[in-house]
């Protein structure tokens, strides 16, 4: 995460390393629904170790003679991890399903029929079991920070892996989006657009943290219901808003930028456009792509965050996040993280 994005409180005093080995970063995808048991697709739950999602999808397409677009999955998982996630393939491409299906660093653990292809964002969330290494700091301070996150949630930043090594995806997005939007038909350029929108969101979230308004609605703010894409506009004098914010029932939202003509009269978008004056070129380039504007909660919450200590006095954190939330964004509020540079998904 770029150092100029502020923390929710003071910068952590402790430090630790992450992903010293894949076994220290475990991720299990939570579908949030039961497979049908019948239908035109096979769902595979795949265990992958030190492999990224896109490469496994590519190998599945080659194995079954499919186009890459025919292989479905809900979201990308960390490469440097022990990760379990679901993939889908058309059933007619599978002559005989075997648990021995697999490749270098991955294997099928479970398979079943389902009526639909998996789409991006169709899962409910991810559970994490993360062991930190070489922890240096005060244990009681870390425990207090965990309690603070349990009460307040944490800033819903997009993780630094979204922006590539040393932010190279953003540098490339500035170049590509500012010159030739028609190239966005290429998957690689769609990825750059996604990175740019994520960056602009982080800029707005950072500004609201500096102003201490990331959990305090301003007039005209667009509020989101927890765990939902539903939203409404904050009205002046709504006495229930503070209580609902404190109980983590609702969150202030920020922009996923796009062609904002349809929303440019709304107070929240006008204010956010002003906050992005330092990113005018990137902001306007994203708008010219015609991407639909959307909203994302400024605050993330989690289920059952547990802090344990290993035999060698290193922290182990177990928690569940909703889809689209980054474990690294939670961790950065607890310790200063030293992680490998190739944390691709």
**pLDDT tens digits for range 276-304:** 999 999 999 999 999 999 999 999 999 88
Q: Read out DSSP for 282-314?
A: HHHHHHHTTPPPEEEESEE-EEEEEEEE-TTS-
Q: Is the pLDDT of residue 342 over 50?
A: no
- Across the chain, what does the average pLDDT equal? 91
Same-domain check for residues 120 and 204: no
Q: Look at residue 265 and tell me if it is in a domain.
A: yes
Same-domain check for residues 30 and 166: no
Q: What is the mean pLDDT of residues 42-46?
A: 95
Q: Is the pLDDT of residue 258 over 70?
A: yes
Q: Residue 122 is part of a domain; what is its CATH number?
A: 3.30.2350.20
Same-domain check for residues 214 and 328: no
Q: Look at residue 91 and tell me if it is in a domain.
A: yes
Q: Is the pLDDT of residue 2 over 70?
A: no
- Report the distance separating Cα 286 and Cα 174, nearest Å: 9
Q: Which of 78, 129, 284, 303 is catalytic?
A: 78
Same-domain check for residues 164 and 294: yes
Task: Classify residue 321 as exposed, middle or buried by CB count within 10 Å of its CB (0-12, 13-18, 19+).
Answer: buried
Q: Look at residue 49 and tell me if it is in a domain.
A: yes
pLDDT digits (tens, 9 = 90+) for 86-123: 999 999 887 655 556 889 999 999 999 999 999 998 99
Q: What is the mean pLDDT of residues 142-159?
A: 96
Q: Which of 3-7, 116-120, 146-150 has the lowest mean pLDDT?
A: 3-7
pLDDT at 285: 93
Q: What is the mean pLDDT of residues 25-32?
A: 96
What's the domain count of the chain? 2
Same-domain check for residues 257 and 177: yes
Q: What is the mean pLDDT of residues 188-203?
A: 93
Q: Look at residue 137 and tell me if it is in a domain.
A: no
Q: Residue 196 is part of a domain; what is its CATH number?
A: 3.30.2340.10
Q: Look at residue 185 and tell me if it is in a domain.
A: yes
Q: Which of 35-44, 160-169, 268-277 has the lowest mean pLDDT?
A: 160-169
- Report the distance separating Cα 52 and Cα 344, nearest Å: 7
Band of residue 1 on the pLDDT scale cut at 50, 70, 90? very low
Question: Is-catalytic flag, 129?
Answer: no
Band of residue 185 on the pLDDT scale cut at 50, 70, 90? low
Strand partners, 234: none
- For residue 53, the enclosing domain spans 22-129+302-338
- Report the distance separating Cα 81 and Cα 55, nearest Å: 14
Three-state SS for 8-37 is CCCCCCCEEECCCCHHHEEEEEECCCCCCC
pLDDT at 181: 53
pLDDT at 93: 81
Q: What is the mean pLDDT of residues 5-16?
A: 95
pLDDT at 343: 43
Q: Which of 124, 84, 165 is nearest to 341 (CA)?
A: 165
Q: Is the pLDDT of residue 341 over 60?
A: no
Q: Which of 37-51, 116-130, 191-205, 257-271 has the lowest mean pLDDT?
A: 257-271
pLDDT at 107: 95
Same-domain check for residues 235 and 328: no
Q: Is the pLDDT of residue 47 over 90?
A: yes
pLDDT at 186: 73
Written as six digits, the tokens of 69 are 């677009």
Same-domain check for residues 239 and 267: yes
Q: Look at residue 200 and tell me if it is in a domain.
A: yes
Same-domain check for residues 323 and 287: no
Q: Which of 231, 258, 226, 181 is nearest to 325 (CA)?
A: 226
Q: Please state, for a pLDDT cut of 90, what percent of the chain lies above it.
A: 77
Band of residue 329 on the pLDDT scale cut at 50, 70, 90? very high
Same-domain check for residues 243 and 171: yes
Same-domain check for residues 210 and 306: no
Instruction: Tell me which residue has tokens 């290494």.
Output: 133
pLDDT at 167: 85
Same-domain check for residues 125 and 250: no
Q: Is the pLDDT of residue 268 over 90?
A: yes
Band of residue 236 on the pLDDT scale cut at 50, 70, 90? confident
Same-domain check for residues 98 and 164: no
Q: What is the mean pLDDT of residues 27-41?
A: 93
The count of residues in the chain is 345
Q: Look at residue 17 and tell me if it is in a domain.
A: no
pLDDT at 165: 81
pTM recorded for the entire structure: 0.91
Written as six digits, the tokens of 127 are 């559970």
Q: Which of 131-135, 172-176, 323-327 has the lowest mean pLDDT?
A: 172-176
Q: What is the mean pLDDT of residues 313-320?
A: 97
Q: Look at residue 43 and tell me if it is in a domain.
A: yes
């Amino acid at each position: 995460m770029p150092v100029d994005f502020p923390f929710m409180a003071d910068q952590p005093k402790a430090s630790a390393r992450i992903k010293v080995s894949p076994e220290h970063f475990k991720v299990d995808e939570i579908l949030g629904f039961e497979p049908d048991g019948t239908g035109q697709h096979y769902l595979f739950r795949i265990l992958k170790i030190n492999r990224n999602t896109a490469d496994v999808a590519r190998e599945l397409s080659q194995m079954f003679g499919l186009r890459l677009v025919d292989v479905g999955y809900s979201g990308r998982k960390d490469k440097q991890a022990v990760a379990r996630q679901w993939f889908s393939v058309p059933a007619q491409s599978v002559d005989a399903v075997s648990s021995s299906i697999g490749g270098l660093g991955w294997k099928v653990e479970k398979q079943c029929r389902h009526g639909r292809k998996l789409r991006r964002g169709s899962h409910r969330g991810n559970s994490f079991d993360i062991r930190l290494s070489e922890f240096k700091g005060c244990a009681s301070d870390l425990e207090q920070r965990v309690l603070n996150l349990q009460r307040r949630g944490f800033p819903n930043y997009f993780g630094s892996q979204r922006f590539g090594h040393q932010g190279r995806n953003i540098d490339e997005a500035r170049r590509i989006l500012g010159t030739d939007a028609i190239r966005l038909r290429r998957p690689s350029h769609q990825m750059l657009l996604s990175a740019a929108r994520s960056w602009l969101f982080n800029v707005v979230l950072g500004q609201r943290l500096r102003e201490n308004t990331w959990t305090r609605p301003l007039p005209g703010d667009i509020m989101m219901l927890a765990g939902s894409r539903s939203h409404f506009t904050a009205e002046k004098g709504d006495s229930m808003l503070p209580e609902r914010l404190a109980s983590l029932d609702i969150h202030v939202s920020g922009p996923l930028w796009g062609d904002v003509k349809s929303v440019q009269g709304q107070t929240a978008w006008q204010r956010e456009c002003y906050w992005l004056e330092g990113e005018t070129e990137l902001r306007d380039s994203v708008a010219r792509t015609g991407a639909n504007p959307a909203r994302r909660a400024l605050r993330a919450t989690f289920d059952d965050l547990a802090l344990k200590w290993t035999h060698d006095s290193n922290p182990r954190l177990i928690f569940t996040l909703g889809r689209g939330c980054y474990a690294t964004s939670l961790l950065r509020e607890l310790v200063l993280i030293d992680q490998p540079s190739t944390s691709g998904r």
